[in-house]
Amino acid sequence: MTTDINTLLTALYVKIDDWIGRPARLGRPPKLTDAELLTLAVAQVLLGIRSEARWLRFVPAHLPGAFPYLPGQSGYNKRLRTALPLLQRAIRVLAHDSDLWTDPVWVIDSTPVECGRSRPTTRRSNLAGWAGYGYCRSHSRFFWGLRLHLICTPAGLPISWALATPKIDERQVLMAICDHDPALLADRPGLLIIADKGYVSAELDRYLSERGVQLLRPSYRNRTPRPGEQFLKPIRQLIESVNDTLKGQLDLELHGGRSPSGVGVRIAQRILALTAAIWHNRATGQPITRSL
pLDDT at 158: 94
Q: What is the pLDDT along the chain (292 residues), one digit of tens a residue?
A: 245 788 899 999 999 999 988 766 667 778 899 999 999 999 999 999 999 999 999 999 888 888 889 999 999 999 999 999 999 999 999 999 999 999 999 999 999 998 888 888 778 888 888 888 998 887 788 899 999 999 999 889 999 999 999 999 999 999 999 999 988 988 788 899 988 888 888 899 999 999 999 998 876 665 666 666 666 666 667 777 888 888 888 888 888 888 889 999 999 999 999 999 999 998 887 655 544 4
DSSP annotation of 32 reads S
The closest alpha carbon to 17, from 119, 108, 86, belongs to 86
pLDDT reported for residue 291: 46
Q: Give dist(CA 206, CA 198) in Å, integer.
A: 16
**What pLDDT is stored for residue 196 in this prediction?**
85
pLDDT of residue 125: 84
Instruction: Give pLDDT, residue 263.
Output: 92
Termini Cα distance of the chain: 15
pLDDT given at position 2: 41
Whether the predicted model's global pTM rises above the 0.75 cut: yes
Amino acid at 212: G
Exposed e or buried b per residue across 127-138, where buried means at least 16 C-beta atoms within 10 angstroms of its C-beta: beebbbebeeee
